Structure 1
């Protein structure tokens, strides 16, 4: 399995207890939909390695997971900061005007007819999503809100925005 064929589910953020459990930050819209996962892929130095799940408890965008064959604190420490992936084929189909956050990566962002830059990342800060835009080498952060993203055309890789007054002023030197 290649990373290009997957989407990021989350990241192992810390160990939990002494028996190999880990805490995972889930970077998905509806974390509870993943309650019955049997396995995930973990990024191990650029290669995706399957890990099978022994137990999984989801609570408010975080998961407490015990993986098969991760049976000690030392084993768990080895996977902290690892990113978790699932195949794109496992994503549910969306309605016509819906999109996944990973679909926004590399989209060009325009305000009116002026190009602001290209989306490089979607950042989740405590439930608040931000678009990280590369504007000729300068990073601009824009809230990912329906009232700001006026149109999203994933197939054309184009996002039109209507920014609040003064938002870009904080990025001007």
Structure 2
């Protein structure tokens, strides 16, 4: 399990005073109001940043970092992910998991047969959809509903599913 979880991606600068537009990759963009620190992944290193100010604009979060007061200071960080340490992550409810912990998980059926590997999670309006890499069928889409997802074992790295008639 990763110790750092992604909460957003810097898309572009906002104004000339060092603010950036962030596309949130968290279920709760309002969490940025309470967040004091983030880690910036530059690709070469991880920089700790202190959040000085938070605003919201359409689907974006506008952030101002302490010590970055000019567009030239922050412009080079476009398209860089913002991460938080696991202990600063939003607490999960029962049967909720971080996507980063699920990717790569082995998937087996309720009959005990190996079904494939969890490759991606698509977030849709009604429910998430799990993209499973099946060795014969290729990409298989399974809805994340109780009738299909029987058990998720993060520690064991395995998910048990029921394949409903007509899904594959």
TM range (shorter): 0.7 to 0.9
Task: State how 1:57-136 maps to structure 2 within 5 Å.
Answer: 57-58=55-56, 62-91=60-89, 93-94=91-92, 97-113=95-111, 114-124=113-123, 129-136=128-135
Counterparts in 2 of 1:116 and 1:75: CA distance versus 1, 3 Å: farther
Which residue in 2 is equivalent to 1:151? 151
Contact 2:127 2:145 in 1 (8 A): no
Q: Kindly state the Cα deviation for residue 82 of structure 1 after the two structures are TM-superposed.
A: 0.5
| Structure 2 unaligned blocks of 5 or more | none
SS of equivalent to 2:121: strand
CA RMSD of aligned residues (A): 3.2
TM (norm. structure 1) is 0.73
Which residue in 2 is equivalent to 1:171? none
Q: Kindly state the Cα deviation for residue 85 of structure 1 after the two structures are TM-superposed.
A: 0.8
Q: Distance in 1 between matches of 2:141 and 2:87?
A: 30
Q: Distance in 2 between matches of 1:159 and 1:72?
A: 47
TM (norm. structure 2) is 0.75
Q: Kindly state the Cα deviation for residue 70 of structure 1 after the two structures are TM-superposed.
A: 2.5
Q: Distance in 2 between matches of 1:33 and 1:20?
A: 21
Question: How many aligned residue pairs are there?
Answer: 166
